[in-house]
Amino acid sequence: MDKYQLNAFKCFKFGLYSEDQKGIEGANAKLENGELILKQGDDITITKYTLAMEEFSGKFVKLKISFYIGNKWVTPTEIFRTWDSTRVLSVDFKKPFNKAKIEQVDGLIEPFEFPVKFVNADVDAYNKRVAEVKAKEDAENQAKIDKLIKADYKVGDNLVNLYWNIVNDQVKKTKVELYLADGFDYKRCQVNKEVVDETTGRKVNKWVTETKITKTGEYRKVASYEIEVGVTFKSISGLAFGTYAFEITELDAKGNKIASTGKVLFGIHRPGYGSVVSANER
């Protein structure tokens, strides 16, 4: 490639877009070291693109560019706009081609070919992003289901009464677990936060009670109970003063978890008789 051909080569600016000529994250086309490099966007499922090219050779120099596709030279379609024109070519990363050619219309510059390189998206990176998005969506959906349990409790001098809802008709068994929460310090506080109103579905600000753990300790499971279908109450007695936690888990017929409260701290202390806190506001 002589200096005149190199100048002609640099007269083109390329862009890689979707079939309807919109931008795709990660996709690009660039001239580098004498070749045209087409990089697929981050989404590996998108393989068909529009290669757009603009010529900046001046109005007195007209260049022709073509691409060797399917054993023949293909000239891009020219699209005229009010202020300028651009050329477009449909490309498919499943059907790559490897060379292009530039010619000057009046023949002053010797026609020359240059390589075209297709660079596919990183499959592992794409799969990792998809997995991360799915994991986030699954966690958000699970959190919504967990909220439906709406577990509450009341404590007495030596007992705790637990109450909850069945989240759906797939629940065939409920498991209640009781833990000693050795070494934990916590406090209840009122927090003004944005929540979704269950009646209207709108976001509203509401004062809710939350548990703030000020010192972590160790959970020690001391009891586990299986609750029959349809029962949404459990009373656990014989508890000394101290800090405890409970966890309510709803299971399907195969024992798979449908919803869970997670571990909810509570304490039995004088004069805490009759205190009520929602586990969904922890």
Domains and CATH numbers, the chain: 3-121 (2.60.40), 150-281 (2.60.40.10)
Separate counts of helices (H) and strands (E) for the chain? 2, 21
Torsion sign (Cα): 135, 140, 144, 149: positive
Looking at residue 143, what is its pLDDT? 93
Instruction: Name the more confident of 215 and 16.
Output: 16
Looking at residue 276, what is its pLDDT? 42
Q: What is the pLDDT of residues 3-20, one digit of tens each?
A: 777 788 788 889 999 887
Q: Identify each DSSP E strand in 165-217 by its residue range.
A: 173-182, 185-196, 203-215
Looking at residue 200, what is its pLDDT? 80
Give residue for tokens 């009122």: 190
Res 277 pLDDT > 50: no
Rounded Cα gap, residues 46 and 93, in angstroms: 9
Res 278 pLDDT > 90: no
Looking at residue 55, what is its pLDDT? 81
Give residue for tokens 């004062």: 207
The set of residues, in sequence order, having a beta carbon less than 8 Å from that of 128 and lying 6+ positions away, is: none
Cα 193 to the center of its chain, rounded Å: 24
Q: Which amino acid does the sequence have at 270?
A: R
User: Average of pLDDT values for 174-183?
Assistant: 94
Rounded Cα gap, residues 76 and 31, in angstroms: 17
Q: How confident is the model at residue 195 (pLDDT cuts 50, 70, 90)?
A: confident
Residue-level length of the chain: 282
Q: How confident is the model at residue 81 (pLDDT cuts 50, 70, 90)?
A: low
Give the strand pairing for 242-251 and 218-227: unpaired
Residue 245 · residue 179 · CB < 8 Å? yes
Q: What is the pLDDT of residues 217-243, one digit of tens each?
A: 899 999 999 998 889 999 999 999 989
CB neighbours of residue 164 within 10 Å:
24
> Considering the chain, what is the average pLDDT of its residues?
86
Question: What DSSP element (H or E) covers 278?
Answer: strand 276-278
Looking at residue 257, what is its pLDDT? 96
Res 144 pLDDT > 70: yes
